[in-house]
């Protein structure tokens, strides 16, 4: 056996002995996390542009509201377990340019995005916990908790929980600054 080959084998064994306790510890810690049983993330396309008209009493108390969202370039990654069940979805990048319009007066405001990040975790009870940082618009409906109607543009961090079917927001905490869109368009 050549000297170089012998040294390479010794280095491999030494490295393996040094790393084995660390790898075992890391492996045992990962065993405590659902992510340890996860498959690699699945990349997806960015969310499509959209527009929605909300009647008075839904997005804002006193007037109908149009929300137009376009130009997002976020990268979407979905993390699943080995059985294909979604554990978490991560969206990161530049979010939508949002245009809010008072359909009664025609007055509008456009919010240009900064970088944003949204992590959606599937909870054991089937609900979803969403954590957003950067710029994000949140519309609360009368069925949500806290109750709407309200439309707010946030700059900072927001955390909310959605029912399993995604239809109703059940909790909301925020930090940072915000703009009351309904007041701005009144």
pLDDT per position as a tens digit, 63-84:
999 999 998 888 888 998 888 8
Lowest mean pLDDT among 107-111, 113-117, 160-164: 113-117
Quote the pLDDT of residue 84. 87
pLDDT of residue 105: 97
For CA atoms 84, 86, 87, 89, the dihedral sign is positive
Phi-psi region of 37 (alpha: psi -120 to 50; beta: other; left: phi over 0): alpha
Per the model's pLDDT, the better-predicted residue between 94 and 179 turns out to be: 179
Q: What is the count of structural domains for the chain?
A: 2
Q: Residue 111: give the domain boundaries.
A: 34-185
- pLDDT at residue 166 above 80? yes
- Which pLDDT value is given to residue 85? 87
Q: Are residues 26 and 85 in the same domain?
A: no
In a shared domain, residues 61 and 105? yes
Residues 67 and 78 both lie in one domain: yes
Q: Which two tokens stand for residue 94?
A: 């530049």
- What is the per-residue pLDDT across 13-52, written as a single tens digit (0 to 9) for each? 333 333 333 333 333 333 333 444 455 666 677 778 999 9
Task: Tell me, yes or no, whether 41 and 18 share the same domain.
Answer: no
Q: Both 21 and 66 in a single domain?
A: no
Q: 26 and 116 in one domain?
A: no
Judgement on whether residues 20 and 92 belong to the same structural domain of the protein: no
For residue 7, the model assigns a pLDDT of 35
Q: Is-contact 63 56, C-beta < 8 A?
A: yes
């Amino acid at each position: 056996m050549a000297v170089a080959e012998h040294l390479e084998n010794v280095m491999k064994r030494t490295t393996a002995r040094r790393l084995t306790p660390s790898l075992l510890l890391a492996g045992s810690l990962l065993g405590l996390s659902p992510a340890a049983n996860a498959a690699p993330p699945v990349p997806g396309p960015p969310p499509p542009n959209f527009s929605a008209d909300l009647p008075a009493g839904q997005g804002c108390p006193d007037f109908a509201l149009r929300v137009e969202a376009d130009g997002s370039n976020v990268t979407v990654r979905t993390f699943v377990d080995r059985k294909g069940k979604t554990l978490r979805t991560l969206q990161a990048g530049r979010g939508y340019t949002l245009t809010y319009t008072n359909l009664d007066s025609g007055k509008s405001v456009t919010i240009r995005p900064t970088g944003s990040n949204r992590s959606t975790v599937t909870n054991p009870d089937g609900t979803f916990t969403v954590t957003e940082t950067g710029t994000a618009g949140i519309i609360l409906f009368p069925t949500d908790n806290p109750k709407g109607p309200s439309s707010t543009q946030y700059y900072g961090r927001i955390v909310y929980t959605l029912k399993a079917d995604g239809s109703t927001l059940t909790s909301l905490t925020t930090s940072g600054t915000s703009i009351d869109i309904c007041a701005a368009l009144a």
